[in-house]
Structure 1
Amino acid sequence: MYVAVKGGETAIRNAHRLLDDRRRGDRSVPSIGLDQIVEQLALAVDRVMAEGSLYDRELAALAVKQARGDMIEAIFLVRAYRTTLPRFGYTRPVDTAAMLVERRVSATYKDLPGGQLLGPTFDYTHRLLDPELAGDASVPEPEQRDEPMEPVMRVSSILASEGLIEADGELPDDHRPGDITREPLEFPLERDTRLQALARGDEGFLLALAYSTQRGYARSHPFVGEVRIGEVELELEVPELDFAVPLGSIRVTECQMVTQFKGSSKVPPQFTRGYGLVFGQSERKAMAMALCDRALRASEFGEDVVAPAQDEEFVISHSDNVQATGFVEHLKLPHYVDFQAELDLIRRMRAEQADAASERKEAAE
């Protein structure tokens, strides 16, 4: 037994050394720096921060480099590091209405207060490979706007002024927000807890569920009320002080989907909301999150739960890519004893089946 364990440890150490070697790659090629990853692979960094539940661009870049670009492995690394950090307290709820907007588009109103701001987007690019990017061609600086970024009103506020959309809703003063990083999930979830889980859920999984709602696997006919990207300020309430302490600002992406609701005996016809908010620039994730949030609110509006995207336990339990990775990849680990037991069982069953067939044949003769 000792020899087997020792041999296994040696193999693992060698595998780690080989991984380090492959990570570095060809030594004639310059090593990539964290600053390059932060600046030039920013969307990958943003995804790692969002699904890793930790806003730190340099640490996310380090995780991307260490994981050789494997996004889920990088997310796993960030979450593991996050568990080592002390918790000093909770920030005040972020006021996204005061966001300094860099990009803001609406599919519901062409002309809206504050205007449409395209910002950096792939929406209007041709999906053609650009050979110039293979070299080190200089990129012209974008034209700078004279006006600074300023807060702009939400599109939902326009609908709210006419009473055509459900209210934001208010939580009781004694409501204690959930914290999925410290407390186990217990179904059914409060909406704030559910939104936390969606915010760090796997982008691809949520995107597929969101797509399913548009293909008829839920009662959904959504419009993008607004997608906005910008800077929001964080403030921490310190018990010893009578005012909140500013901690700085972070970049987030927010999406509000509006969906028609025919009303009920107590509620007139109106639009309902689906909400998404994630770290960094991640429109696809925020939009998918908003669509899934609305689908998961089906029971609130008396709608039948008939589609996977409307099943809270199914969506939340399977959206965590770190947990899913653990369950799937653990199958690579030794299962020798379990397999030998099943192998013996199959052999025994086949032998019994053969004996029974032989007995039937003899009886027939």
Structure 2
Amino acid sequence: MYVAVKGGERAIDNAHAWLAEERRGDVSVAELSVAQIREQLALAVNRVMAEGSLYDPDLAALAIKQSRGDLIEAIFLIRAYRTTLPRFGYSEPVETGRMACDRRVSATFKDAPGGQVLGPTFDYTHRLLDFALEAEGLVEEAATGAPREAETPHVTAFLNAEGLIQEEHVPEDDRPRDLTREPLELPAGRPLRLQALTRGDEGFVLGMAYSTQRGYGRNHPFVGELRIGTVPVEMEVPELGFSVEIGEVVLTECETVNQFTGSKSEPPQFTRGYGLVFGQTERKAISMALVDRALRWEELGEDNVGAPAQNEEFVLYHSDNIQATGFLEHIKLPHYVDFQSELELVRKLRREAMVGEKREAAE
């Protein structure tokens, strides 16, 4: 039960004003623009779009500015705004094989068909502070060409040609439920699990993925392919009777290849884990693929070894940082009545205990 605090409205208004002042910071320093955040903090923008389930770099940058860099608060703002938007329809499934790749690597084949494209990555950088960035000078442009426009086939397709990797079957009901419009229900099918993971907190999903690598889930993956690039988005227009391209989005896709010795229902073969996330979000996509594979234990006829990453309820219900934040931070709100009742209970128990001790001493 919550009770009103006298003068609370004025205190809240003052808190808002103070927050705005703290957000602005030293007025002698130039204010950070939304465009600067969008262009120079792109990885933070990508995370907010992915976990906020809304692809709009400008709005994500605005949310980061408004939240003073608190990405979970920014994700909350984006999700709240998303609920106000009208839904005109659903786009067609994107064809990632048509992706114009900025980056495309495989840890399974050195000479992967289509080639390895390192792209912009921290993988080969030294983890040393670059104090030259303090100079705020112009950065020399990299000697790179434009993203490839030709279709780049998936590496797993070449394994599949030999029948070495499990076939992916489209369920009879090929339109998955929409987690942004319907509450999560368990047991969840794989499409719904993937939706939850792509919206899940990056740190949580990373921790779950790391646990599988350390033996909690018997999951030893290879990155079959990691690709980042732009894909066209199409939507069917009923008045036209065919699909038209309505825009483009940048995606990160990861397919892991996992050894599988077979079960009563499946022959020895490689199996897949899958991750797909807005923007350049490599760590999240790889983590998502590892957790996806761990959660597939039942359909593959594997044993459940009791690993956290194999527990669908544990993973899906605790990966959503907005739900977790709301439940955690509500304890900051007034609980005066609740606490007073518990305080009286503890006092009563202490009095009864003291009476009992005196009675025992007298006997």
TM-score by length of 1: 0.96
Counterpart for residue 43 of structure 1: 43
CA distance in 2, matches of 1:331, 1:319: 20
Counterpart for residue 256 of structure 1: 255
Asked if 1 retains the 8 angstrom alpha-carbon contact of 2:209 and 2:288, the reply is yes
Q: Deviations over 1:325-360 (max 9, x none)?
A: 001111111111111111110110011011111111
CA distance in 1, matches of 2:114, 2:224: 14
Counterpart for residue 188 of structure 1: 187
Alignment of 1:65-76 (within 5 A): 65-76=65-76
Secondary structure at the residue paired with 1:334?
coil
CA distance in 2, matches of 1:148, 1:120: 14
Counterpart for residue 144 of structure 1: 144
Asked if 2 retains the 8 angstrom alpha-carbon contact of 1:102 and 1:149, the reply is no
Counterpart for residue 215 of structure 1: 214
Shift of 1:304: 2.1
Amino acid at match of 2:315: V
Alignment of 1:220-239 (within 5 A): 220-239=219-238
CA distance in 1, matches of 2:266, 2:245: 40
- How many equivalent residue pairs? 360
Q: From the superposition, tell whether residues 307 and 147 of structure 1 become closer, same or farther in structure 2 (CA, over 3 Å).
A: closer
Shift of 1:97: 1.1
Counterpart for residue 131 of structure 2: 131
- Does residue 350 of the first structure (1) align with residue 350 of the second (2)? yes
Asked if 1 retains the 8 angstrom alpha-carbon contact of 2:101 and 2:147, the reply is no
CA distance in 2, matches of 1:337, 1:208: 38
CA distance in 2, matches of 1:4, 1:335: 11
Shift of 1:146: 6.8
Secondary structure at the residue paired with 2:270?
strand
Secondary structure at the residue paired with 1:299?
coil
Asked if 2 retains the 8 angstrom alpha-carbon contact of 1:98 and 1:151, the reply is yes
- Does residue 322 of the first structure (1) align with residue 286 of the second (2)? no
Q: Deviations over 1:198-251 (max 9, x none)?
A: 010000000000000000111111100010000111011122222102111100
Asked if 1 retains the 8 angstrom alpha-carbon contact of 2:165 and 2:271, the reply is yes
CA distance in 1, matches of 2:347, 2:205: 43
- Does residue 17 of the first structure (1) align with residue 53 of the second (2)? no
Alignment of 1:1-365 (within 5 A): 5-145=5-145, 148-172=148-172, 174-305=173-304, 306-363=306-363
Shift of 1:283: 0.2
TM-score by length of 2: 0.97
Give me the CA root mean square deviation: 1.3
Shift of 1:104: 0.5
Amino acid at match of 2:141: E
Shift of 1:5: 4.3
CA distance in 2, matches of 1:318, 1:266: 31
Q: From the superposition, tell whether residues 162 and 202 of structure 1 become closer, same or farther in structure 2 (CA, over 3 Å).
A: same
Q: From the superposition, tell whether residues 57 and 340 of structure 1 become closer, same or farther in structure 2 (CA, over 3 Å).
A: same
